Amino acid sequence: MNGKSGGDVQPIYGSKYHGKSQRWLSDSFYSNSVFIILSSILSSGVGLLFWILAANLYSKENIGISTVLISSASMVVLISRLGLDQSMTRFFCERDRSTLFSSTAIITALVALVVGMGFVLTADIWSPNLSMISNWGTPFILLVLVQSVVVTTTSAFVAMRKAKLQLIQNIVMGSRLAWLFPLVGLGVIGIVSSFVLALGIVLIFSLYLLQKLSLKIRGIDRSFVRSSLSFSAGNYISAMLVGLPFLIMPLIVLNQLGASETANYYMAYSFANIVFTIPVACSTQLFVEGSHGEELKKTTRKSLLASYLILIPLIAAIFLWGKWLLGFLGMDYAEGGYGLLKLLALSSLLMVPFQTYFSIILVRKEMKWLIVISLLNCITILGLSYLFLMTGDLESVGYAWILGYGMTSLFVYISARKMIQ
């Protein structure tokens, strides 16, 4: 009898949890969120390994300048998006996918080329520390151009609910590690060129995958550009405002504290970015699900729950082992960046309501509110960071992020409840 009951209980117990696992895996929100999170963590992890190798192969000054150039390239790409990525995602299930992708890829690449050339020609005006950028103009422009198209392909994969392909992209992007060694004699150009070559491989691979998914390069769909103009413009402004604190901070630190402290900042940020990917990934999938007509209130609860369940143990790990991890870069990085790393990790808890509300507004197409909260977030973080850095303490950036996201999240909490009813 005992043997029989034992045999009866085990299948019931197993099937119960197996059933839950199956439901989670079959839920498009959770399954695609997992792939986005894994992709982001892989990207950040490989990025950290990249900088660990670079820190042991290149001088700290080369690292500092390279991080500014790579961040600047990302800033140029952000400026060139024009909000078209979000419009492509929002209308992907309503219009011809190939024309949406082609229009977004072509327009943003052309704008990125123009803005990138303008950056190279005017860098010495607004940042004397980058006056020598003309020496790196060609690899910088190539980085901007290739990265722009790769970003569009990634957005297409996410919009198609094929987030697992984004994971494959980041695996291929890991090839940049190998390029560090043969290019070591080139200094800053070697580091930047490693990104360019790896992104080129990712681009070729991504276009091949999109072709397999019957998504092809066509001309520019002017009707899409015109009809989505209002939505794209609101997205463009908000994306600029949200992205600037991340991308312009290395320039602020460089001008305030110098190249060595910029390297400390960027390495701490690179570790913290693993934590930052969680609220961004969950809110991105919230936007995708909402754009496909899923119930917003239910999906919002899923997004918040998933974000905090993953964030809390990650932040605990940062506090326990963050200094040890930074030590792989060198003791200078561990001593100079650990305090900032802990503060940045804590700020991610306050990023969650901001990112969630951001996606809710995108689904609802409430573009005025989108710009308002983005502007509030940008002004508080950049303004407080610039003010606090006048003390000469790098950790002050972390306090600025906590306070900035705290203020924005309070505003979000008051406003968001009405948006999801």
Sign of the C-alpha dihedral computed for residues 285, 29, 296 and 224 taken in this order: positive
Tens digit of each residue's pLDDT (9 = 90 or more) over 352-386: 888 888 777 777 766 777 788 888 888 888 889 88
Q: Is residue 121 part of a domain?
A: yes
- Residue 346's pLDDT is what? 92
Tens digit of each residue's pLDDT (9 = 90 or more) over 328-341: 777 777 888 888 99
Nearest Cα residue to 172 out of 199, 212, 154: 199
Q: Is residue 23 part of a domain?
A: no
Q: Is residue 328 part of a domain?
A: yes
- Element of type H or E holding 67: helix 60-80
In the structure encoding, which two tokens stand for residue 311, read together?
Answer: 């964030």
Q: In a 10 Å sphere around its CB, with 0-12 CB exposed, 13-18 middle and 19+ buried, how is residue 126 labelled?
A: exposed
Tens digit of each residue's pLDDT (9 = 90 or more) over 154-208: 888 877 777 677 777 878 888 888 888 888 778 788 888 888 899 999 999 888 8
- Residue 6's pLDDT is what? 39
In the structure encoding, which two tokens stand for residue 372, read together?
Answer: 């308002």
Q: Is residue 10 part of a domain?
A: no
| CB 404, CB 377: distance < 8 Å | yes
- Residue 4's pLDDT is what? 40
Q: Is residue 339 part of a domain?
A: yes
- Band (pLDDT 50/70/90 cuts) for residue 228 is low
Asked whether residue 394 carries a pLDDT value surpassing 80, the answer given is: yes
Q: For 20-98, where are the E strands, in sequence order? A: none
In the structure encoding, which two tokens stand for residue 81, read together?
Answer: 């998006």
Q: Is residue 20 part of a domain?
A: no
Q: Is residue 309 part of a domain?
A: yes
- Phi, psi dihedrals of residue 175, rounded to the nearest 5°: -65, -15
Q: Which amino acid is present at 114?
A: V
- Residue 15's pLDDT is what? 45
Mean pLDDT for the chain overall:
77
296 lies in which domain range? 28-419
| CB 389, CB 252: distance < 8 Å | yes
Tens digit of each residue's pLDDT (9 = 90 or more) over 20-52: 444 544 555 555 566 666 666 677 677 778 877
Total tally of structural domains belonging to the chain: 1
- Band (pLDDT 50/70/90 cuts) for residue 232 is low
In the DSSP assignment, the letter for residue 218 is -
In the structure encoding, which two tokens stand for residue 51, read together?
Answer: 């900088």
Asked whether residue 390 carries a pLDDT value surpassing 60, the answer given is: yes
For 40, 229, 409, the CA distances from 367, given in Å and listed in that order, are 27, 12, 18
Higher pLDDT, 251 or 416: 251
- Residue 316's pLDDT is what? 92
Sign of the C-alpha dihedral computed for residues 215, 217, 222 and 225 taken in this order: positive
Q: Is residue 334 part of a domain?
A: yes
- Three-class DSSP category at 391: coil
In the DSSP assignment, the letter for residue 108 is H
Instruction: Calculate mean pLDDT across residues 94-98.
Output: 71
Q: Which amino acid is present at 248?
A: I
Asked whether residue 326 carries a pLDDT value surpassing 60, the answer given is: yes
Which residues does 414 contact at the CB level (< 8 Å), separation at least 6?
A: none
Q: Would you give the distance in Å from CA 301 to the centre of its chain?
A: 22
- pTM for the full predicted model: 0.61
